[in-house]
Structure formats: C-alpha cells, structure tokens
Amino acid sequence: MRRAIFPGTFDPFTIGHASVVNRALTFIDEIVIGIGINENKNTYFPLDKREQMIRDYYRNEPRVMVQAYDSLTIDFAKQVDANLIIRGIRTVKDFEYEETIADINRKLTGIETILLFTEPELTCVSSTIVRELLQFGKDISMFLPEGMEIPPADRK
C-alpha cells in the first residue's frame, strides 16, 4: 500500500492544497494530511479549526486522514507508516527549497518526496496571501475548495 503524508500549516487550506491532494489520490492509496505545529508561526486560525475544516471537506473520502504533529516531518511519516511525502510546487523558489529538504529526508530515512507542480491557474494562490486578504475583510471564497467556509468568528 502506498501511504503518503502531505505536510503543511494549512492556514487556511486552499484550492491549491486541495488540487495537490486530489491529484495525488490518483496514484496514492492513502494520504495523511499532516498539520505541522510550529510555535514560531503566527497562525490565523487555531489548530483545531484547521483540522476540522479539512476533515469536513474530506468527510466522504476515506482515503484521506487529517492529523496534527509537532515533530520533524520524517518522524511523523514514520509514525503514520507513510513511505512517501507529497509536496506542491508553485515556483522555482519553491522547487529549490523542496529539493533540498527532499534530499535530506531521503538521506536520513529513505523516504521519497513526490513534487507536484501547481496547475497554472493556481500559482498565485498561497495561504499567506489568503490570510492577508482575510485580515482586511476581503472575500476569500474563490481561493477555498468548494463547500469549505470560514466564518469570521472562528479566527484566533
């Protein structure tokens, strides 16, 4: 069985993230969406809300699980018996960063990383930009997977 993790902060989970997961499901048996806990990051939404939004979105897809973790990504992969890491790439800068991490992860554990390039129409979508739009009261629905809603009262 091919089980992969898709790690990230997912603050919030965007149409770009959903695209990576849905495309990976065409060749991966199970995906664990790993929400990394990073105390140094100032997140917009609390962890439990991010977990719940993603779980609700994939509630009818039994091959997708959601779990938070506060360790190295490779340790989390071992913990959930994943033999692959899935990452999305939007730009050359993303590629260079992810290539370095993938090389280190493979050297340390033998776990391979699969890089999926973002669909061209989604390259401008990033959680950072979506958070900024939210902070200024803008409608972000076009950047969220269809059916995923974020009520303003659920912010940190």
Determine which one of 19, 49, 50, 127 is catalytic: 127
Determine which one of 17, 19, 49, 50 is catalytic: 17
Find, among 49, 56, 47, 68, the residue nearest to 18 by Cα: 56
127 a catalytic residue? yes
How far is 147 from 122, CA to CA, in rounded Å? 18
2 a catalytic residue? no
128 among the known binding-site residues?
Answer: yes
126 among the known binding-site residues?
Answer: yes
28 among the known binding-site residues?
Answer: no
127 among the known binding-site residues?
Answer: yes
41 among the known binding-site residues?
Answer: yes
88 among the known binding-site residues?
Answer: yes
How far is 138 from 130, CA to CA, in rounded Å? 9
Determine which one of 55, 63, 78, 90 is catalytic: 90
137 among the known binding-site residues?
Answer: no
155 a catalytic residue? no
41 a catalytic residue? yes
Listed in order, strand segments (DSSP E) in the chain are 3-8, 30-36, 64-69, 84-89, 112-117
Find, among 133, 132, 153, 149, the residue nearest to 141 by Cα: 149
Determine which one of 2, 41, 138, 156 is catalytic: 41
Residue 49 burial (CB count, 10 A): 18
Cis peptide leading into 152, omega within 30 of 0?
A: no
Residue numbering of the annotated binding site for substrate: 9, 41, 73, 87
Residue numbering of the annotated binding site for ATP: 9-10, 17, 88-90, 98, 122-128
Residue numbering of the annotated binding site: 9-10, 17, 41, 73, 87-90, 98, 122-128
| Residues labelled as active-site residues | 17, 41, 90, 127
